[in-house]
Amino acid sequence: MFTGIVEELGRVVALDRGRLRVEAARVLEGVTLGDSIAVNGCCLTVVAHDEGSWEADLSEETLRRTALSALAPGSMVNLERAVRADQRMGGHIVQGHVDGVGTIRHRVPDLRVAVPNGLERYLVEKGSVTVDGVSLTVVDVIGDTFSVAVIPHTSEVTNLGGLDEGAPVNIEVDIVAKYVERMALPHIDHLREERT
């Protein structure tokens, strides 16, 4: 589990045949093989590490469902280690399981993102959303887009400040919204049947 509070910006060294190598410092403190590190909001497993960098294997599923396939050497990525039970819980509950790839429609500070069809139903004003692994609060939802206000600090310590219009971003909607929908649907369907 993650919080969406980015610990550092890493730099992609290589992405070759499904192996991602990232230059980092802070997220390597105490790292061991098998640890989870979120890269732009996508939970990855550390399969190798040394002084100053680490590697993860990306499955075809991960490459197909996330914006990680667009990374190239030099790309800046948001990094966060999995949360420990004794840490403060900033941000919100983030699984690192990307729900879809969105597209930047307007740059920071008034960031507007278009989401794939169907994800907009999980977005509500003042609700939580993760964009490239950054926990943000939704300002508004208009059609298939939502906006968030990105403060200067967040713009400086994440990759969000450097994203141009049209850039792909990983989107994870609030897990609570998905569970509520799943639990409510049978009851809604039952009420619909009673009315017909």
Summarised one tens digit per residue, pLDDT across range 43-93 is: 999 999 999 999 999 999 999 999 999 999 999 999 999 998 888 888 898
Is the pLDDT score of 186 beyond 90? Answer: no
Q: CA neighbours within 13 Å on the CB side: how many for 135?
A: 21
Alpha-carbon span 139 to 148, nearest angstrom: 5
Which band of pLDDT confidence, cut at 50, 70 and 90, is reported for residue 191? Answer: low
pLDDT of residue 142: 97
Q: CA neighbours within 13 Å on the CB side: how many for 45?
A: 8
Q: Domains (ranges, CATH) in the chain?
A: 8-81 (2.40.30.20), 100-181 (2.40.30.20)
pLDDT of residue 193: 75
154-178 pLDDT, tens per residue?
Answer: 999 999 999 999 999 999 999 998 8
Residue type, 39: V
| CA dist 167 → 21, 26, 46 (Å) | 21, 26, 26
Q: What is the pTM of this model?
A: 0.91
